[in-house]
Amino acid sequence: MTYLFGFNNSILKSELQIACFKNKDKNLNKHRNLKLFKCYPQNGKWKISIIDNNKKNDYFYILDHHEISNKDIFFLSERNTLDNFNDANLEKPITDETMERANFKILLETGGFSSYQADYPFNLATKNGSIISSVSSLMDNNADKNYILFRNIFCKPIEDKFNAYLVDYKNKIILEEYELKTNNSNFIEIEKKNIKDGFFFVTQKYLGIPMYVSIKNNFLSFEHTHPYNTYLFGKNQYTVLSNLKKEINEIIYKKNSQ
């Protein structure tokens, strides 16, 4: 089962189109009674509610930007989820693995839009760790603006601050340091000069999904990265990634200990 999320600020808005059926299931009516839930952290607890008014037909829920905050997560489940809900720790929703993804659309109020099939796997929300992502793989230094949307969902209802870094691996230096927040959709602007080979966006302590947005002439490019090992080839790809993370962590440690 996966969670869904959106993003909103003064620059970008988002919409979600959530399918309540399984793609390859011939019986589309089978899952029509599943309910859409919204969940967010507040005062050390998860707050949960059912969203009933946004079902456009038997097969889709649609949320516009007025109904989405950067804290909200959404999921489909059976109505009795409310009776068994643990407000201290997210648990796997009660479903039959029906819905795995939704269309996550971002848009400019006076320009274009882009979208992809977004999801946040449940097992990712139960773990701590770090991510490493190449900024040059999906960003464009010819664009007017480049941003990273970084979404973290953690099973505990906390909004902890944690650090992310832009690291120049070749020269072993930290270019930028960012303060992010758990259980939020975070927003980071990346300067054109920092979109180069060997520059990595790195988090410590918490996992998440980095999504890259480039804007040019009010048009958008929007995509997420895959785990960095998928960009590596050969039987030793995990060893290479482990060594890369170790070297980058040493760069961060050296900077923080000064």
Burial 29-50 (b: 16+ CB within 10 A, else e): eebeebbbbbbbbeeeebebee
Torsion of the alpha carbons at 227, 232, 234 and 238, rounded to the nearest 10 = -50
**DSSP one-letter string for 98-130:** ----EEEEEE-TTS-EEEEEE-EEGGGGG-B--
Give the pLDDT score at 2: 82
Mean pLDDT along residues 6-35: 77
Who wins on pLDDT, 127 or 99? 127
Q: What is the C-alpha to C-alpha distance for residues 36 and 98, in angstroms, rounded to an integer? A: 12
Going by their DSSP bridges, the two strands 173-181 and 185-189 should be labelled as unpaired
Residue 213 pLDDT:
95
CB 73 within 8 Å of CB 40: yes
Q: What pLDDT sits at residue 13?
A: 95
Mean predicted confidence (pLDDT) in 93-102: 60
**Which position has the higher pLDDT, 60 or 166?**
166
pLDDT of residue 254: 84
| Separation between Cα atoms, residue 254 and residue 13, nearest integer Å | 38
User: Is the model more confident about 213 or about 232?
Assistant: 213
What is the predicted pLDDT for the residue at 156?
97
Q: What is the pLDDT of residue 237?
A: 75
Give the tens place of pLDDT for each residue, 147-157: 999 999 999 99
Q: Is residue 61 within 8 Å of residue 10, measured between CB atoms? A: no
Which range is least confidently modeled, 83-97, 178-192, 207-221?
83-97
Q: What is the pLDDT of residue 241?
A: 75
* pLDDT, position 227: 64
The predicted model scores a pTM of 0.89
Sign of CA dihedral 52, 53, 55, 61: negative
